Structure 1
Amino acid sequence: MKAILVDDEGLALKDLERQLEKIGDIEIVGKFQNAAAALQRVGELRPDVAFLDIDMPEISGLEAAEQIHKINDDIEIVFVTAHHEYAIKAFELAALDYVLKPINADRLLHTINRLKLRASIRPASTEPPVATISCFTRLRIEYGKAEPFSWRTVRAQELFAYMVYKRNQPVRKDILLDLLWPDTEYKKAFTQLYTTVYQIRKSIEAAGLTIRLTNSGSDYYLDLGNNRYDVQEWENGRLSLPELNPETAAQHIAWLRSYEGDYLSETDYVWAENERKRLRDIWYKHALSVSEMWRASDCRKETLEIYELMEQRFPFSEELYFLIMQFHSDNGDLDMSKLKYDQLCSMLHEEYAISPSVAVRQWADATFR
């Protein structure tokens, strides 16, 4: 059984450690003299039980217990205290037991036996599934089951998507109200916010996921834990690419092709537009770098292939049309260059009822006259 010990008094911490080692069957995986440090490590250490002193500065043992249960509700809590009056509060927090200071060896043994008994009758827990949250094209959560992740309401789905966008940072409640219920009376909007957060938590709980949506006064905070997020993984993939050259180009193109579709493009979330544009810009600039490398290497077939890939993603980009026109012209194929210019004129007229820019028209006049 793995345990962490938290007590701001060093001598008390050592005494508890000594007595637990004497009893045996307890592996002490962490000792801390402040609760904040323990809370930072509890998810990583994954103890079965936390022995918490109650009277600690900054974060008390009672507050730490609440936070630990938010991280992992299966962790048993044993309070260590010099005050009887904490007993009632301890059991309100679903603590297994409390031990009075100075610690009596027999009383501590009784607590350890209770822990063993609880562990023996508790159903064997299975590892929670590692989910993949996907936001390319639309919001999806894949968590190892055939049935799709269930959203109680469309508003719950959007709120979760926004919290994923703002993951690992606090989001003020008033911002969420303005974003999702801008025309709703303030008190009613707050009620809807709380209801929606509750719905999200219940959906996460029903799926058995380790995602945490927590409340800290005026803010909400989404912790994805060890679950995967496709947008972050895609961005991280670019950072791990080797230096771009003809030998490594295949890896760069594979990364470009892994872009499954624009960020939440099947939704009408107004707030998603900036992130959508940011990710598109990342893709476009990298594809442009690949095309420039192929052109500099005089690899015409490969250059046209990357231009074709770029056109699939950016079919209405005048800049891209112009690059392809110039490429054909530089390679002596004025007929293909003129064809591309005519396609640009038709596209701009049909989509936007405009003509090509002055710079493009002047280039065309000078090239095709």
Structure 2
Amino acid sequence: MKVILVDDEKAMHLIMKKMLAKIGEVEVMGAFLDTMAASSYLNDHEVDLIFVDINMPRQSGLEFAEGLRKQGKQIRIVFITSHVEYALSAFDVFAFDYMVKPVKQDRLLQTVHRALAESPSKLPKEEVVATIEAQAVEFNALGRIEINSDHGAKTKWRSSKSIELFAYLLVQQGRLVSRTRLIEDIFGNMPQKNAEVYLNTTVYQLRKLLNTYGLKEVLHTYNNYYALNLTDVTVDFIRFEEGCRQLSVIQSETDMEQALLLEQLYVGNLFGEYGYTWSLSEVERLSLMYSALNQRLCQALMKAKDTSNAIRLLKKLLHRDELHEESLILLMRALSMQKNKEALIEHYEQYTAQLLQEIGTAPSLEVAALYAQLLSEAR
């Protein structure tokens, strides 16, 4: 296994080289005093593992790791630092591990052996298969909570709390969560002693389930913190959010095709029927993101004269929120473009009746004026 060291202290280079020399199958390819030199080396060389200090001049280890992730490099990164409070930030960039100085030989050995175990070239045949399967696994949380693999087997959850723990850690997107916080948010209605036992049982259940998908190391524990390492797993709502950011403007035909595929990914609100109190703000945030994407897409479709697709998606939006004024405005314009006067009248009257029933008011002056204008143009 090829390794590099990045630390601004030469003494740490000597210490780490000496400790790594005691471990078989490890070759230190280089030791760098700053991240720029390390980045330059990585442009032309492949390595399996990087040990990097977090607190460094000019560019921190965290910024260095973030840069590698943005380049699409999935090299395993182990952070080494004197400051334990950096642990949470470390896992934001999908750290493989985190060690506090002074590094101990047995702790280093544990990390290296885990990295070797996850390297396909070092595994026996049956374990290589498991690793390949792990790379094909998807975590789906839009409209449901399930784990999908090439085998297509339905997720067999061990308990309702194992589902909730999975959902809770999933929404953290790799960030470490303290044991105290998990107990408070998931097991808060139980006596403290019972909650602690139940959390231990639930962690065991979730870990055992993930193992059946070849995801042995996905549920990461560090002291009294827990996280899901999502580096090699596809997560639908993360894909959706990243896609929405990339399609902040929809102009070309390719943009529209990608947006249509992205819209189909959103099969329902985050976690579907599982209405966890702690997830409500995230559910609302992604729902608003979906609505904004849908409206951008519909505007682009209407501009391209594809009114049929626009109307289909706008009806879908209004089904989710019958009183959404912007969606109604777009729908009326699309129906007018189709010269579908009957549908225009039907949807406006339906909206008016619903508005009166729900909040006891009439449509806004803008909506009423637009309706009158479109109706006159349809004559």
User: Which TM-score band (shorter chain)?
Assistant: 0.5 to 0.7
Structure-1 separation of matches of 2:19 and 2:259? 58
Q: Identify which of 105, 108, 117 aligns with 1:64.
A: 108
Q: Identify which of 164, 167, 179 aligns with 2:185.
A: 179
Q: Report the counterpart of residue 348 of structure 2 in structure 1.
A: 341
Q: Report the counterpart of residue 290 of structure 2 in structure 1.
A: 283
Structure-2 separation of matches of 1:11 and 1:198? 36
1:138 lines up with 2:147 in the alignment: no
Structure-2 separation of matches of 1:59 and 1:27? 17
- Number of equivalent positions: 305
| Shift, 1:132, TM fit | 0.7
1:37 lines up with 2:39 in the alignment: no
Change (3 A) 1:356 1:265: farther
Contact 2:299 2:330 in 1 (8 A): no
| Shift, 1:59, TM fit | 1.9
Map 1:11-26 onto structure 2 (within 5 A).
13=17
Q: Report the counterpart of residue 263 of structure 2 in structure 1.
A: 256
Identical pairs, percent = 18
1:305 lines up with 2:309 in the alignment: yes
Aligned partner of residue 221 in structure 1, secondary structure: strand
TM-score, normalization by structure 1: 0.66
Map 1:182-197 onto structure 2 (within 5 A).
182-197=188-203
Q: Report the counterpart of residue 293 of structure 1 in structure 2.
A: 300
Contact 2:318 2:328 in 1 (8 A): no
| Shift, 1:309, TM fit | 1.1
Q: Report the counterpart of residue 155 of structure 2 in structure 1.
A: 149
Stretches of structure 2 that go unaligned for 5 or more consecutive residues are 6-10, 34-49, 55-60, 66-73, 78-99
Counterpart amino acid of residue 219 in structure 2: L
Counterpart amino acid of residue 222 in structure 1: L
Superposition RMSD in Å = 4.3
Aligned partner of residue 262 in structure 1, secondary structure: coil
Structure with larger Rg:
1
Map 1:191-270 onto structure 2 (within 5 A).
191-240=197-246, 244-245=250-251, 247-248=253-254, 249-270=256-277
Structure-2 separation of matches of 1:141 and 1:312? 26
| Shift, 1:65, TM fit | 2.7
Counterpart amino acid of residue 260 in structure 1: V
Contact 1:10 1:33 in 2 (8 A): no
Stretches of structure 1 that go unaligned for 5 or more consecutive residues are 47-55, 77-118
Contact 1:13 1:31 in 2 (8 A): no
TM-score, normalization by structure 2: 0.65
Structure-1 separation of matches of 2:106 and 2:13? 17
| Shift, 1:26, TM fit | 5.9
Contact 1:5 1:13 in 2 (8 A): no
Structure-2 separation of matches of 1:216 and 1:267? 28
Change (3 A) 1:202 1:305: closer
| Shift, 1:153, TM fit | 0.9
